[in-house]
């Protein structure tokens, strides 16, 4: 059974006086352990689809099941709990809390699990080690480069050990070298830690890291390209 299953999902929202339908009857399944890349031009609905998979938005119609759990009809608090446990989200911008150090930013999701300070410390150390920033633990976000900030955000996404990582244009704001570093890191997490990665990008170079690619255009998944 697929880890992520979208069945005839439709999502509309209002933009001023217009009703926009970024997703219309979209169906998709992603197997556990895949590095799934969703390509598409700006405004094609990629982020909308990603937000549905990450349970931070709900569909107007259709069903979304992730790990056998129906997300489309779950309550808001249930979805919060579910997100904390099952999904790590990497945004286009790192979105770190500026008044907290790298360590404290990574630690934030762990407060949701009622862990002891020692256990939190252990997990944060492992996550920072995994992204190669153990030596930057006490730095504030403003003391880090863009690439380092994004790696801290990835550490925050994996610290609670979720089975799914969703990444929305994670290299969109980075220079080429930093972008390669972040993509290598995601790829390594996928390979070594068996994470299911769902990444949205419009950059074909970034898309090469995926084990499966699809293109979303005008609200529909039009094309599927099996890579590597």
Partner 1 sequence: MRLLPLDYAVRNLGRRPTRTLLAAASSALVAALLVATAAFVRGLDHTFQGAARGDTAILLSSVAERDVVRSTVVAGLGELVAASVRGVASIEGVPAISDEIHMGTNLALPGDKRARPGFVRGVTDRAFLVHDAVTLIEGRTPRTGEVIVGRLVAEQLGVEPAALQLGKELSFEGATFTIVGRFAAPGTTIEGEVWTPLAPLRGLTRRDDSSATFVKVTEPGAIAELELFAKRRLDLELVVIPTAVYYKELADYFAPIRNLSWGLAGLIALAALFGGANTLNATVQDRVRELATLRAVGYGGWALVSSLAQEALVLASAGALVGLLAARLFLAGSSVRIAMSAFELNVDAPAVLAGIAGALILALFGTAPAAWRVLKLPVAAALKEN
Which residue lies nearer to partner 1 by CB, 113 or 129? 113
Segment near partner 1 (CB under 8 A), from 2-10, 89-97, 130-138, 172-180? 89-97
Report whether 92 contacts 169 (CB < 8 A).
Answer: yes
Segment near partner 1 (CB under 8 A), from 2-10, 59-67, 72-80, 182-190? 72-80
Report whether 151 contacts 120 (CB < 8 A).
Answer: no
Among 165, 18, 38, which Cα is nearest to 91's? 165
Q: Does 112 bind partner 1 (CB under 8 A)?
A: yes
The only residue of 85, 163, 203, 220 in contact with partner 1, by rule CB under 8 A: 85
Give the span between the Cα atoms of 163 and 205, in whole angstroms: 25
Number of residues this chain uses to bind partner 1 (CB under 8 A): 29
Segment near partner 1 (CB under 8 A), from 2-10, 85-93, 172-180, 200-208? 85-93
The only residue of 44, 48, 196, 201 in contact with partner 1, by rule CB under 8 A: 48
Q: Does 74 bind partner 1 (CB under 8 A)?
A: no
The only residue of 21, 80, 173, 211 in contact with partner 1, by rule CB under 8 A: 80
The only residue of 19, 77, 192, 226 in contact with partner 1, by rule CB under 8 A: 77
Backbone angles phi, psi at 64, to 5 degrees: -125, 115
HEC string of the chain equals CCCEEEEEEEEEEEECCEEEEEEEEEEEEECCCCEEEEECCCCCCHHHHHHHHCCCCCCCEEEEEECCEECCCCCHHHHHHHHHHHEEEECCCCCCCCCCCHHHHHHHHHHHHCCCHHHHHHHHHHHHHHCCCHHHCCCCHHHCCHHHHHHHHHHHHHCCCCCEEEEECCCCCCCHHHHHHHHHHHHHHHHHCCCEEEEEECCHHHHCCCCEEEEEECCEEEEEEECC
Q: Does 100 bind partner 1 (CB under 8 A)?
A: yes
Q: Does 116 bind partner 1 (CB under 8 A)?
A: no
Question: What is the pattern of x (binds partner 1, CB under 8 A) and - over residues 143-182?
Answer: -------------x--------------------------
Q: Does 95 bind partner 1 (CB under 8 A)?
A: yes
For the segment 192-221, give every residue that binds partner 1 (CB under 8 A).
none
Q: Does 81 bind partner 1 (CB under 8 A)?
A: yes
Q: Tell me which residues touch partner 1 (CB under 8 A).
A: 47-48, 51, 54, 56-57, 76-77, 80-81, 83-85, 89, 91, 93, 95, 97-100, 104, 108-109, 111-114, 156
């Amino acid at each position: 059974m697929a880890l992520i299953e979208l069945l005839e999902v439709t999502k509309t929202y209002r933009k001023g006086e217009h009703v926009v339908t970024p997703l219309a009857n979209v169906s998709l399944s992603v197997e556990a352990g895949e590095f799934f890349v969703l390509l598409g031009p700006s405004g094609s609905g990629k982020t909308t689809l990603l937000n549905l998979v990450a349970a931070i938005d709900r569909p107007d119609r259709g069903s979304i099941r992730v790990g056998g759990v129906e997300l489309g009809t779950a309550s808001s608090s249930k979805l919060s709990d579910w997100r904390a446990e099952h999904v790590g989200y990497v945004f286009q911008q790192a979105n770190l809390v500026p008044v907290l150090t790298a360590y404290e930013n990574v630690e934030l999701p762990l407060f949701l699990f009622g862990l002891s300070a020692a256990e939190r410390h252990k997990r944060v150390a492992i996550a920072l080690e995994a992204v190669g920033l153990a030596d930057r633990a006490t730095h504030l976000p403003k003391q880090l480069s863009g690439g380092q900030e994004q790696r801290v955000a990835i550490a925050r996404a994996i610290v609670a050990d979720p089975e799914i990582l969703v990444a929305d244009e994670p290299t969109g704001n980075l220079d080429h070298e930093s972008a390669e570093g972040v993509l290598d890191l995601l790829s390594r997490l996928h390979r070594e830690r068996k994470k299911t990665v769902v990444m949205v990008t419009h950059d074909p170079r970034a898309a090469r890291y995926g084990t499966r690619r699809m293109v979303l255009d005008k609200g529909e998944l039009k094309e599927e390209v099996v890579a590597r």
